[in-house]
Each structure stands twice: as structure tokens, then as C-alpha cells.
Structure 1
């Protein structure tokens, strides 16, 4: 059997990996971190079915259940997996994940594209400000390039032609959901919707600011909360054993 990491980071958006790095670096000081990554090719249909199968192919070879973590759409993949295969998931940590759908930044991008008569470049510039806050003009092109790459390589279930109808039910594994109070993708109202799905031992936590990529701007604050949750999860497992 393959020896598994302490925490497995799910990544469906390789172009956005740079925004995960500060948190991963912080967590790696305490935990052995593994990264599971999926890159969608242009010829593949936009769906979470393929990455879900591939993730199961990987995790079924692990010697025991694993703690999963993911941001946005990657976190939603973890939710779907935990719903189908709870026996293979020790706990699930979600960052900027909506409680009732696979909502991601691309959903807002396409909504603007449909309603506002602007160029692609103008809308992407607006998305940079929405997702990351104020940026100096010299940095805008690099942010836009990253978002454009994600539009091409991420299996987002939103496009001009269709919108996601994926939903999920409560999961039985310990759950920790993190958000940001100024996130425009998963706003505070949507974040409160998680309360319906919480079980004993589950936790909700909001970063005071940081927008959709709050874990990039505040890796230590987010990391400390994650480590506390994982530690509590271990203690609860010992009590129930």
C-alpha cells in the first residue's frame, strides 16, 4: 500500500496554484502535505466525473482514510468524493466553497459576460479587483493571464452555454469550512447556509478579509485554524474509539 500524507490538497486549477503556495508552505512545517492535481485538456468535456474517478483510483490505494482539503471547485470535488466514499475520508476542509452548488469565480465571470456589453479584457480586469482587491496597474496583466489560463484548464461546470446543477447532501465525515467576510464569490449570506449541513464536531470559520483567495493573503491565520481543526478531529476520534 502507498503511504499516505497527513493532508491531501486537491487541485483542479493548476494555474491558480501560486495562490495556494503560502498556506501549503505554512502547513508543511507541521504536516506532511500531498498534492493531487488534475489538468483538463481542451478536448475533454467540462465535468467533474473524470476527476472524481481519478481521485478514487488514487485514494483506494491508500492504506487508511486521509484528510482532504480544497479551495473553491477543488473543495467541491472533495465534497462529492466524501459523499460517495466516506470510508476513505478522515476529514474534509473546505476553503471558499458554496454550500449548495459548485459555484466558482468563473460563474461570476460568465454572468458579467452575459449582462455587461464589455470586452473580455475589461471583464477580466474587473474580476481581478473582485477576487483580489485593489492592485497596481502594472500587476493587472499578470493576474489576467492567470485567470485566462484557469478558464482553459479548469473543469468548471459554468460556461456561457450551461450552468452547474450539481448539489450535495450532508457528509458524515468531520467538516471544516473556511470563508472570508469580503468574498464576492461565496458571500457571507451563502456562507451561513453551511449551518444546515453541520454535524457534531463540524466547524465554520471566517477570515475577516482576504476576498476569494484569503488563504493566499493570510496563510498563517488560516493555517492555524486548520491545524486546530485537525487536532480536534484526532482527539474526537480517540474519544469515539
Structure 2
């Protein structure tokens, strides 16, 4: 049998404070079943306990109020479950990111390995490429999308890939958190243009090169160490930095096994 209970009793039934229940009423998230016209006392139906408990759990999971409304208003279980599933997936992604940051912070507590720097003069390099202006926060997803396109398209057209793929990063990418990124795979000179890809020749360059081994989140440590070395021993030029993915974001490699050459452009020796 359904019963009506005052707000204090409903608070005990649901583990939601009276203040919280009043707030949920004010924003029309969970309204009382009845309100006394004279006293203003709120009474809740015992049939509302399940909704209140659901709200409490969703808010404990930091679900935004508009999404909580969507769950409560869902006319069918499929709609409700889809909203909750999407939120859980976002939370799982955030948990993964937090775990990665924690692991990276722990690595800062340990000793820094000596950085091996190699100097390399490279000739012009023929490539097939995809370029775009990319925000720093989106670069991982962007690389994850375009490198499979590069490798698979080359394979479909019978184009030989002559070495590991890579990317160039403009100065604006670092200075403004958004800038041109060019993903490329090396191919023989004279390779015909393929629809959707750009035939790009990377210019010859003098590079200071260091290898980053480990997750992408810790690549800044290699950048920092290599940049310090260049600042103290060479003259940097503002050409795009190149990354060469010895193991990395092609269409098969696991993102946890990155092994990347970071190539810093410098002036040619006198």
C-alpha cells in the first residue's frame, strides 16, 4: 500500500538530507507528492523512494543534473540505460586518464636517465601525408584516426612504405595549444598522389635526436631534456619538430608501447 510521509521521514528513507530534498524540489528534479496549502509542509509518496535512491547514486557518480533528468524522464529502459551507460563510459575514460597521470607523476619521483642525443643530417623525404590544425588535447585521437588511414590506404593502392611513419608539429601547436600537425609515411619518390592524401616532400634538415620510450603522457620529459641539450649546445631553429614512430600509432601498435624519435631542428654546424 502506498503511503505519504513527511520530508524528515523521507530523508531517513532515502539518505538524502532535508536541505538536498528541498533543493531538488526547487529545481523540479524531485517534487513532493503533495504540499499543504496552509503550512507548506511537503509530503512524499513511498513510491518515490526508488527515484530518490537513483538520484543519489547518479549524483554520487557526478552525473550532471540535465542527464539525471533524462534518466528520470526516460519512457523506456533502453533510453535510461543508454544515458547511464554513456556516463559510465566517460567516467571509465577519466579514470584511465587519472591512472596515467598518477603513473607519470610517480615516474617524476625516480631518477632521470641520462639522455642519449644523436645528431643527424637528413635528406629530403618523399611522403604521403595528412595535415590539419589540431588542438593539443585532441592530438591523440587525431593521430589514432589518421595513421590507420595512411597505412591502410597505402596498402590498398600497393604503395611501398619505405620506413617508419611520423608527424611534424608546428611551433604554434606548442605555443597556442593548437597548430598544424602533419602525419606522414615515407614512400618512394614519384609515388602517385592518392585521393584523400597529400604528396609531401619534407625538406632536408639538421636534427638533434633523442628516443622517447614509454607512454605518450611522459613524452614531455624527453622534450624537456632534449630541448635543454639543444639550448646549451646548439642553435635551435623554429622549423616544425619531427616525431618518428619506431613503434607507435600505426594501425596495429598498442599505444602503451610507444618508442618515438624526437627530432629537434637545429642550425647546420659551421
TM-score between both structures, scaled by the size of structure 1: 0.21
Relative to its length, the structure with more strand (as a share) is 2
Which structure ranks higher in relative contact order (CA pairs < 8 Å, sequence separation ≥ 6)? 1
Whichever of the two has the greater Rg, that structure is 2
| Length-normalised TM-score, structure 2 | 0.20
